[in-house]
């Protein structure tokens, strides 16, 4: 990265473990909440364990993390938000895109429990996670509603409604989901809907082959949801999940 | 700082300019809003100017910054929140204290205007600032209410009510304030109240000499508010501002 000013060094205090191995499978719906679970694995250091004391009293925390997939790639001054259909460019600092001058991310998650004495270092069990597995953590802060919650804040371009598409399942897909998550403990079906209704394809694919364009209908894709390869086809009616298979490595 | 994990390097994209030269004069009241104003001075780089495009559409932004006063001092695993009267220790990661493993801070502020073509680099004029002058900025993100605002989040120890003390002015102090801010453009009087009612003394002084302890009454302090030396005395009735003087350098 080009140096922009005074340089600071930070070191990871832990790593986020999630079922999302690939960023296109990460739920981008905020408030997806409890369905997408993960663990912040804190490095085994007695001082860090002490530093977490009383954190269990908070319902929500901020994770300050590194967009590690983008570390070496440099940053882009402007991006095309997928939400705007790729039709408009905005500055990267006016977005939450990972391709920022300093690839630092911010995510508010739910604290489910903290296991201070887990083997290999404390574990913070979290819900509502939108992070890729392996994300390095720089800081954790309690979410303090009277300072952090500004419900009346209004968002320029980001207030455009997020397009959502119907997600339809074939009988075969329904059966596969039942077989893979028989008691519904993983909420696999709900998670597939949450991930898919926003059209999880990379931005350039969304631009080139919009769901609503008849020329796209019939095109097939696969996406990893909790280690399952969810096969779907673009149709006039929306995203049609025709099968759920084992992920080929 | 002791290395805790993988190391990352970030460089400042700008600096926050505020009237607060000293961290004890910084309003710690969240939502103090428009009264405490500042400017984020972005480094003069054409890419950074582009990166800010469309940011003016948002009412609020996050500043991701460095607690620069604490860079070299290392971090403390636990702290005594002033709010709890110094009677209880909590882990530093369960607090918003600057003495963190990675001294990264987070502050949501109001965007008043953006001057993209200011001399020496773009300027983001902000309100509701709680940052010390000279704070290095690592990142700016739009505040997006549907993701960032969690009004129902509840805060363990931090939900203890913040003690506030009455602030009383002598006639002399009132006259000085009128003289220094005749049209009230700086909101000097309101800002003094906002800063002082929370008892802006360092934590150890608050612990040793609580406002409510009769042994503290009569003790005198001075605090810098917008470059004015606000002289006050602890009294049974609260914080008594007896004079406002020029700051001695």
Q: B163-246 belongs to which CATH class? A: alpha beta
CA distances from A146 to B78, B112, B158, B162, B192 (A): 23, 21, 10, 11, 21
Given an 8 Å threshold on Cβ–Cβ distance, is B158 in contact with A95?
no
| pLDDT for residue A117 | 96
Encode pLDDT of A131-142 as tens digits: 889 999 999 999
Name, in order, each residue with C-beta under 8 angstroms of B167's C-beta and a sequence gap of 6 or more. Answer: B192, B193, B196, B197, B238, B239, B241
Encode pLDDT of A96-110 as tens digits: 989 999 999 999 999
> pLDDT band for position A13 (50/70/90)?
very high
The residue with greater pLDDT, A113 or A154, is: A113
pLDDT higher than 80, residue B29: no
pLDDT higher than 80, residue A34: no
Out of A16-20, A164-168, A233-237, B70-74, which region has the weakest mean confidence (pLDDT)? Answer: B70-74
Given an 8 Å threshold on Cβ–Cβ distance, is B138 in contact with A8?
yes
Q: Which burial class, exposed, middle or buried, applies to A206 when counting CB atoms under 10 A from its CB (0-12, 13-18, 19+)? A: buried
Task: Tell me if chain B has a CB within 8 Å of the CB of A161.
Answer: no
Instruction: Quote the mean pLDDT of chain B.
Output: 87
| pLDDT for residue A35 | 64
Given an 8 Å threshold on Cβ–Cβ distance, is A12 in contact with B8?
yes
| pLDDT for residue A146 | 81
Closest C-alpha among B67, B66, B51 to residue B141? B51
Q: What is the nearest CA distance from A225 to chain B, expressed in angstroms? A: 22
Q: Provide, as residue numbers in chain A, all residues whose Cβ is less than 8 Å from the Cβ of B155.
A: 57-59, 142-145
Would you say the C-alpha torsion B17, B22, B27, B30 has a positive or negative sign? Answer: positive
Encode pLDDT of B168-178 as tens digits: 999 999 999 99
Out of A190-204, A226-240, B5-19, B20-34, which region has the weakest mean confidence (pLDDT)? Answer: B20-34
Quick one: average pLDDT of A37-48?
95
**Which run of H or E residues covers position A230?**
strand A228-235
Quick one: average pLDDT of A43-65?
96
CA distance A230 to A219: 14
| pLDDT for residue B174 | 95
Q: What is the nearest CA distance from B156 to chain A, expressed in angstroms? A: 4
Task: Tell me if chain B has a CB within 8 Å of the CB of A6.
Answer: yes
Quick one: average pLDDT of A164-184?
92
pLDDT higher than 90, residue B63: yes
CA B172 to chain centre: 27
Q: What is the dihedral of CA A4, A8, A13, A18, to 10 degrees?
A: 0
| pLDDT for residue A54 | 94
| pLDDT for residue A80 | 85
CA distance B89 to B92: 9
**Strand runs labelled E in chain B:** 7-11, 14-17, 37-42, 60-66, 78-79, 90-91, 104-115, 123-127, 135-142, 167-169, 220-225, 228-235, 238-246
> pLDDT band for position A60 (50/70/90)?
very high
CA distance B58 to B143: 7
Given an 8 Å threshold on Cβ–Cβ distance, is A143 in contact with B153?
yes
Beta-carbon count within 10 A of B162 CB: 14
Quick one: average pLDDT of A40-51?
97
Task: Tell me if chain A has a CB within 8 Å of the CB of B14.
Answer: yes
Given an 8 Å threshold on Cβ–Cβ distance, is B13 in contact with A151?
no
Q: What is the dihedral of CA B235, B240, B244, B247, to 10 degrees?
A: 50
| pLDDT for residue A33 | 45
Q: Does domain A14-148 have CATH number 2.40.30.70?
A: yes
Q: What is the nearest CA distance from A143 to chain B, expressed in angstroms? A: 7
| pLDDT for residue B216 | 92
Encode pLDDT of B114-153 as tens digits: 999 999 999 999 988 888 899 999 999 999 988 898 888 8
**Strand runs labelled E in B128-237:** 135-142, 167-169, 220-225, 228-235
Task: Tell me if chain B has a CB within 8 Å of the CB of A33.
Answer: no
Inter-residue contact B166 to B238 (CB < 8 Å): yes
Segments making up each domain of chain B, as ranges: 14-148, 163-246
Inter-residue contact B88 to B207 (CB < 8 Å): no
| pLDDT for residue A140 | 98
pLDDT higher than 60, residue A1: no
CA distance B110 to B126: 5
Task: Tell me if chain B has a CB within 8 Å of the CB of A162.
Answer: no
Given an 8 Å threshold on Cβ–Cβ distance, is B59 in contact with A14?
no
Q: Which of residues 105-144 of A touch B (CB under 8 A)?
A: 106, 108, 136, 138-144
Would you say the C-alpha torsion A55, A103, B141, B121 has a positive or negative sign? Answer: positive
Name, in order, each residue with C-beta under 8 angstroms of B25's C-beta and a sequence gap of 6 or more. Answer: B195, B200, B223, B224, B225
The residue with greater pLDDT, A230 or A200, is: A230
Quick one: average pLDDT of A79-94?
82
Closest Cβ opposite residue A4 in set B45, B90, B143: B45
Quick one: average pLDDT of A118-124?
97
Encode pLDDT of A177-213 as tens digits: 999 999 888 888 988 888 888 888 877 788 888 888 8
Closest Cβ opposite residue B5 in set A43, A60, A142: A43
Q: What is the nearest CA distance from B90 to chain A, expressed in angstroms? A: 6
| pLDDT for residue A27 | 62
> pLDDT band for position A24 (50/70/90)?
low
Phi, psi of B165 (to 5 degrees): -115, 150
Encode pLDDT of B197-235 as tens digits: 888 887 778 888 888 889 999 999 998 888 899 999 999
What ipTM score was computed for the predicted complex, to two decimals? Answer: 0.79
Q: Provide, as residue numbers in chain B, all residues whose Cβ is less than 8 Å from the Cβ of A80.
A: none
Closest Cβ opposite residue B154 in set A12, A59, A100: A59
CA distance B33 to B124: 15
């Amino acid at each position: 990265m080009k140096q922009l000013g005074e340089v600071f060094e930070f070191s990871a205090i832990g790593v986020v473990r999630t079922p999302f191995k690939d960023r296109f499978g990460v739920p981008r719906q905020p408030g997806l909440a409890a369905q997408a679970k993960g663990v912040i694995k804190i490095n085994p250091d007695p001082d860090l364990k002490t530093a977490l004391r009383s954190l269990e009293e908070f319902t929500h925390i901020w994770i300050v993390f590194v967009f590690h997939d983008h570390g070496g790639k440099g940053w882009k001054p402007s991006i095309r938000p997928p939400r705007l259909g790729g039709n408009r460019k905005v500055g990267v600092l006016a977005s939450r895109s990972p391709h920022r001058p300093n690839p630092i991310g911010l995510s508010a998650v739910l604290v489910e429990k903290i296991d201070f004495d887990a083997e290999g270092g404390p574990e913070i069990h979290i819900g509502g996670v939108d992070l890729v597995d392996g994300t390095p953590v720089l800081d954790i802060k309690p979410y303090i509603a009277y300072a952090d919650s500004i419900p009346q804040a209004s968002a320029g371009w980001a207030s455009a409604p997020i397009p959502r598409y119907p997600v339809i399942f074939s009988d075969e897909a329904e059966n596969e989901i039942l077989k893979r998550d028989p008691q519904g403990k993983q909420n696999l079906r709900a998670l597939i809907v949450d991930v898919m209704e926003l059209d999880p394809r990379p931005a350039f694919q969304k631009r080139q082959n919009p769901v609503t364009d008849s020329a796209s209908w019939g095109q097939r894709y696969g996406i990893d949801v909790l280690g399952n390869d969810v096969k779907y086809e673009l149709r006039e009616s929306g995203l049609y999940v025709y099968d759920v298979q084992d992920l080929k490595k």
